[in-house]
Amino acid sequence: MAEESDRDAKAAWVLRVLSVDVTRAAAAVRTEESGATKDLPGLSAWQAARAAAVQSLQQLEVAFRAMKEPEVPKAIILVRAIRAQLTERPDTMQKVQELQRFIEQDQTVSEAEIPNGFGFKVSLRAPLLAALSQLRPAP
């Protein structure tokens, strides 16, 4: 138990400092090794990073709903818009390029990553771009 607790603490530190979710990445690797997605190189990694991002966005959406502020409805729409932009299966080069441009340049993504006072960290850009770089779709 102590060993497992120590591993969780390290994973938490990595997630906090380096913005990398080691637990999810390990799960994604296992999924890829199991042959779940064999059709596109790097697709499993992308889907894992995307799942983590979607979870963070859902977490942020729940936090927003708890606030009694007038900007909440518009903010939730923007959060969902981010989630909708994250294509689950970018199987063409064009889709990859559009995804990359959105993640790198869209201001909603930047502001969603601003350290918040809800007690959790939203990390989108770094893990998504890292996973996206592994994708090798057909041109």
Partner 1 sequence: MCKEPKKTEPATDIGKLITKSHPGGQPAWYYVGQQQGYRNLCGKLNNCGNLQRYVHPTRFPPLQQRLLTLWQNVTAFADVTFTDKTATQNFEEPLADYSAEADELAQDILAESKKPPKLHPKLTLNANAFDVLCGTVINAAGLGSVQSGAPLLFFTGAAWQPSLKIVHVGAMDLQIGCAATEDFLPMSGFVRIIGRLPPRPIPKLTLPRVTFGTALTAPLLGLAPQIFSALAFEPADLIVQPGQDNLHVIAPAIPGQFEANDAYFTIPVDPRPRTLTISNPTQTLTTGMQLDSALFGPNVDFGSGEGVISFIDPANGLLLAAGDAVPVTLGITGTSCFAAATSKTIQVKVTKGRPVIIWDLTSAAVCGEPVGPSLTATISPATLQDKLKYSLQPTDRWPDRAYCYIRVEFPGDEHFQPVFMEAKQVLVRNATEKQGADEMLNGTAWRRPDLGTPENTALQNWNGDAGGVKALGQKIVKAIANMTYAEVCRYLSAATPAPDGTRKSGGQDMWRWNNGLQVRVKEEGSDHSFGTEVNVEVVTVSGGFTTHVNQTAFKVMINGDAGARDPGKVVRPGGLSDAEWESYKSGAMRVDHIRCPKVPQVITWKLRDNKLTPKRNQVQRDLMTISCLGDAELTFQMNGQNKSREEFATFNFPGPFEYRLVVTAKATERYTGVAASVNVTPE
Among 84, 107, 138, 139, the residue binding partner 1 under the rule CB under 8 A is 107
4 vs 69, beta carbon nearer partner 1: 69
What is the spatial distance between Cα 23 and Cα 3, in angstroms, rounded to a whole number?
Answer: 15
Shortest CB 35 distance to partner 1, Å:
37
Residues of span 44-103 touching partner 1 by CB under 8 A = 60, 63-64, 67, 69, 71-72, 74-75, 78-79
Identify the CA nearest to 53 among candidates 124, 105, 129. Answer: 124
Identify the CA nearest to 22 among candidates 31, 30, 33, 14. Answer: 14
SS3 assignment, position 24:
helix
Shortest CB 85 distance to partner 1, Å:
14
Q: Which residues pair with 138 in a beta bridge?
A: 92
Residue count, binding to partner 1 (CB under 8 A)? 24
31 vs 118, beta carbon nearer partner 1: 118
DSSP result, 53-90: HHHHHHHHHHHHHHS--TTHHHHHHHHHHHHHHS-S--
77 vs 93, beta carbon nearer partner 1: 77
Q: Is 134 in the site for partner 1 (CB under 8 A)?
A: no
User: What count of other Cβ atoms lies within 10 Å of the Cβ of residue 131?
Assistant: 22
- Residues of this chain that interact with partner 1 (CB under 8 A) are 16-17, 60, 63-64, 67, 69, 71-72, 74-75, 78-79, 107-108, 111-112, 114-119, 121
